A and B are shown apart, each in its own frame.
Chain A
Amino acid sequence: DAGVTQSPTHLIKTRGQHVTLRCSPISGHKSVSWYQQVLGQGPQFIFQYYEKEERGRGNFPDRFSARQFPNYSSELNVNALLLGDSALYLCASSRLQGVGYNEQFFGPGTRLTVL
């Protein structure tokens, strides 16, 4: 079975631009979460979506937005990019159905560099 896939792998943008990152969850998984991982730190929670609805939001500014599509894939959008947005953006999928099914499986990430 294919794991979580993310695109693009790498991205270079300049300050003020916007970016769209994409994620396809594991087949059968209905929940997608997004995390930001700055170099030297653990991942920080940005959003969680389940059945196309936002179920959780981390402490990130409104420049960050996301959505989930009927096929459960997801997009993360970041507007007005800042240098501090440079990070590895991780997508994780899970079944989200009861105890034991909340394990989150991560994709390889998108490395965003803002110049």
Chain B
Amino acid sequence: GQQLNQSPQSMFIQEGEDVSMNCTSSSIFNTWLWYKQDPGEGPVLLIALYKAGELTSNGRLTAQFGITRKDSFLNISASIPSDVGIYFCAGQVSGGSNYKLTFGKGTLLTVNP
């Protein structure tokens, strides 16, 4: 099935560093969402973006909805050990009757204390 292009595939950083990851698509989405998944758990919603160009923050997390509506990025500032996990971007085409999410392959983040 279709998956978005998410990069990097993995990151290994030191505690306190900033992190940036992005997601691109060949098609337009009306909504971009970022999720974090811990081992053995379901994805947890971090940030939802609804308008092209929108910049939204949630604590140390900041995400932007690309102007072309085909991309999004997520920044994490001053990383801490509990930021470890897999981060997924997801695009959604709202409208009509189908609101399925299309996911990226994920970015595995490791934070070294």
Which A residues contact B (CB, under 8 angstroms)?
A: 4, 31, 33, 35, 40-45, 48, 50, 55-56, 58-59, 90, 92, 94, 96, 99-100, 102-109, 111
The reply on B33 being an interface residue by CB < 8 A is yes
A48 touching B100, Cβ below 8 Å = yes
Query: Are A43 and B98 within 8 A (Cβ)?
Result: no
Asked whether A41 and B100 contact (CB < 8 A) given A103-B48, A106-B44, A109-B41, the answer is: no
Instruction: Tally the A-B contacts, defined by beta carbons under 8 Å.
Output: 78
Chain B interface residues (CB < 8 Å from chain A)? 1, 3-4, 6, 31, 33, 35, 40-45, 48, 50, 88, 90, 92, 94, 97-106
- A residues within 8 A CB of B88? 42-43
Q: How distant is B111 from chain A, measured CB to nearest CB, in Å?
A: 20
Among candidates A4, A41, A45, residue contacting B42 with C-beta atoms closer than 8 Å: A4
When the two chains form the complex, which single residue of A4, A33, A42, A105 contacts B100, counting CB atoms closer than 8 Å? A33
Q: Would B31 and A102 count as touching, CB distance under 8 A?
A: yes
Among candidates B42, B45, B98, B105, residue contacting A55 with C-beta atoms closer than 8 Å: B98
Q: Which of A41, A44, A99, A105 contacts B94 (CB 8 A)?
A: A99
Please give me the 10 A-B residue pairs with the lowest Cβ-Cβ distance, nearest first.
A42-B103, A56-B98, A106-B42, A45-B100, A55-B97, A44-B1, A106-B43, A108-B42, A109-B42, A103-B48
Q: How distant is A54 from chain B, measured CB to nearest CB, in Å? A: 9
B50 close to A42 (CB less than 8 A): no
CA distance A4 to B4 in the complex (A): 25
Find chain B residues with CB under 8 A from A96 CB: 99
| Complex contact A50–B43 (CB within 8 A) | no
Shortest C-beta distance, A29 to chain B (Å), equals 12
B contact residues around A103 at 8 Å (CB): 33, 45, 48
